[in-house]
Structure 1
Amino acid sequence: MNGTRLLVAGAVLALGLGVATPASADVLSDRAQAVALYETGGPTMTNAARKALLGTADELREFLATGRQNAQDNDERLLVDQALAAGGPIVKRDAQKALDGTPDDIRAFLATGLQVSREIDEDLLVNQAMSAGGPGVKRAAQIALDGTPADRHEFLQTGLAQAQADDDRVRATQVMSAGGPEVHAAGQQALSGTIEDVRYFLSVWSGVAAAGDTEITAVTHQRDLARKAAAFHFKAQAQAAADSAAKLASDARKANADRLDKQLAAGQAAGQKAAAEAAEADADAKAKADEAARLVAEKDRQLAEAVAPGTDPALALTDGRSAALYLLRNAGPAVRTAARAALSGTDENLTAFVRTGLDTAQEADDRAAVTAIADGDGKPALKQAAADALAGTWAQVKEFLRTKQYPGKENDERLAVDQILAAGGPATRDWAQKALDGTPADVTEFLEKGQYQAKEIDDRIFVGRAMSAAGAEEVNAVAQGALDGPDSALAAFLANEVPRAQQRDATTAAHVAAVNALVADAAKAAASVR
């Protein structure tokens, strides 16, 4: 394997850039400067440098003389615009002041003013947190304010959230201690869970439990009145108490149903918003992928045209430079090194890169990638196949990178599909079986993509099953919003929110059973009076 590494290292050095002497050292220096600006500059600088590198020597000199500064000024304004959009009130104020000033004002703001403004904004945020927070937040905020700007930044990044969580647990303990039996039980359960459980208890369930305690007390009182009236054979009074008990229970069920309806509507709205945002993100990702594919195709077209017989030499150089600029930002390290040297060199250097140097550098990158597999932690058979490929031709190296083929791969992949099939839901089992009944390519496709698509279908099935269970009112109140949301969120919903909602349904069922027993007792007492 050491010999392979030497081969890779040697290939990086032998990039076929030619040995032609540049006609003008100044031109080469200009190109090297423009290449460096293309690699390191902001969006305006990158575009301007690219245009200059594809243009004439005069255009290149003009870019370095004036265009570079204009591009830098514009990129710096963009940075200040970003700070203005994302910053707090002091950053916004000072950023706008810089934008209203000179380029020197903008540079001064970016060099030192932005950091100072951010620190003042963070001081304000810490003070606001201290004013609005509980005892733990107040203590932590005061410590941060007594410290350095770094202490205040750290407080806002992590300390505030931890202090808020601690305060919420204290509040939950206080609510639990002051409440009735159902509040106490719900509080204990929340405190034994996550901070999300605690916050749901504080925001929603403590109120539900308190209403449950009130209902139990009121219905118990009416049951007792019905029993007492029945003992004295006061039929009308006993029936009135029994009716009151039933109405209290009915009103409580309606109030809870109304709460769940509101929760359902809010969840659906949130889910639909999340789905729209996910769809927009997917569309953006697809557009970026399409553009990336277009750029790759254009690079390939330019390289083919640059080496094709009969291509005008000037066009071949333009094509080669454009392709090299793409590779400088998107290729592996050896190709980037070769492209940088070619773009910084003579026309002859660029031609040599396109005709021979690119392949030499690409082979070096490909061999480095296979070496990483051979030296990695993968299956022994895969590592050996990588080593075997490295001992062969570049074509064999490329084929290995394309397929990652090794003896026993098909059996390993079928075993992986078998395991997924055994543990999966109905859609996963169906898709897995179809893959196993198909070709090795079908098996690979299932492992790379199909299993995840089937899992999302299964997640919807499992959410639907949870919703259809008897008494799943709490589940339904949250599940429809999840179904209206993005598929990517369903797995976490099933793992976290469904069990919580099922526990709430069980708690509600126990409460309703207790209330119904009291109502039945009251009705029985009233019916006993003749």
Structure 2
Amino acid sequence: MKLPRVSAVVAAAVLTPAVLFPSSASAADAPAPVGVSGPDTASEGGTTQEDLDRAEIRKILADPASGISVREAAERALAAGTAADLRTFLEEGLQNARVTDDRVRAFQILAVGGPAVKKAATAALRGSYADLVQFLKEGQYTARAEDDRAEIERILADPQTGRGVRETAQRALAVGTPAALRHFLEVELAKQQADDDRVLVTQILSKGGPAVKKAASAAMSGSYADIVQFLKEGQYTARAEDDRAEIEQIAADPQSGRHTREAARKALAGDAAGLRRFLESELAAVRMSDNRVKVSQIAETGGPAVRKAALAALDGDDQAVLAFLDRGWAAARAEDEAAAAKPTTQPTTRPTERPAEQSTATPAPQATATPQAAPAGQAPVVQAAARTTTSTGGGDTAARPGQLAATGAEGLGWEAGAAAAAVAAGAGLVVVSRRRRPTEG
């Protein structure tokens, strides 16, 4: 009668820890302890509870999901070797170690997660253990999907994103599941990025200078790491070399203006950023300054048409200045040359011809000739006198109407012609008188 009472007491002692310390659920729930009796209770096959507990602990150690705290506590229990130590670990130590490992895991996820994951992990760590278990089982994945979507949208918004990455990202967003978003970020992104980087190096090679072409060709012939290094650093080093060579040519070019040469020499004394800044933003401005100086000089020395076109260009914008230097200058210069080569039309000197016209209207010549009735034979004399008043003494270019060749006086016109006609008529009378005198004597 006493033996059953002792068995009942022993059974109660064995079951009490399991009732008072139940194992809570977690992302990697610990298996329930095996065995229902103390170390002295044997199974039907002769295996003791201690053997069963030892096997269970070894199974926990073999589970890759077991955390470091669980492993350490399990190893200590096995090292102790007693049935009590094994049972204590399974009933108490295992759960405590799991709580520690779960909190460590949540902190690790928080450290590397995006904004949504960080927020969810922080809330779980501040809550109950049930909140922590829920985060590890489901919450972290929901929050990570939110972060993945935001990351893909950021990639699409980046203007540097290549075509392959962009198209694949858009397909992942169209599917929209957490698995599709994660697959793009973990698998597709790297592959598409490598393809886009190779395309980018090819584009740089086609547009670059000698140094850039050489560096890009070497990168394309190497590994993907060489391509990444070229895109991050190599292209800029090579481009600085090309920029320096180009600016040296500009500074040495005799066609470069003073402002351009001075700015080029200043850029050569600086760093790679200064070289690029000169070529991309400063060069155009200093060249335009020199162009305006050149147009001003052309306006001062050019002919009428050139001067007019140059001044109009200076009053306009930069495009007007460039257009003048490109074709307007040549057109205006041709216009001036054509005007200089065109012969001037001989002016009609009708006032000097008036006496001759009157003499032809006279019915009969008089014995004593007057300026209005000069003999017909003296017409060449009159015409010669008229020409004398309208042409320069040393050239074949006719003077302007109303301008005397010898004096340069203007405004005489008809009066000068009449005076010349009178002189010619007087000379004719002298000749007539000399011809008559021998016969009269």
The alignment's TM-score, normalised by the length of structure 1, stands at 0.35
Between Structure 1 and Structure 2, which shows a larger proportion of helix residues? 1
Larger Rg: 2
Q: Which has the higher contact order (CA 8 A, sep 6+)?
A: 1
The alignment's TM-score, normalised by the length of structure 2, stands at 0.42
